[in-house]
Chain A
Amino acid sequence: MTAEAPEIARASSQLEAAAEKAESRRGLTLAAPSYLYLIVLFVSPLVIIGVYSFASRSRTGRPLLEDWNLDSWAKILGDELIRSIALRSVVVALVTTMLCLAVGYPFAYYIATRSERVRNLLLVLVMIPFWTNFLVRTYAWRVLLGEDGPVTEIGRALGLWDATLFTLPAVYIGLVYGYLPFMVLPLYASIERLDWSLVEAARDLYASGFRAFLRVTLPLTRPGIIAGSILVFIPSLGAYVTPDILGGAKTTLLGNYIVNQYLTARNWPLGSSVSMAIMIVMLIATVWYFRSGARTL
Chain B
Amino acid sequence: MTSTNLTTGKHVVVTDFDGGEGILVDLNTKRYYQLNETAMIVWRGLEQGKSIGEIVADFMSSYEVEPDRATLSVQRLLDSFQIYKLVSAK
B is bound to A: no
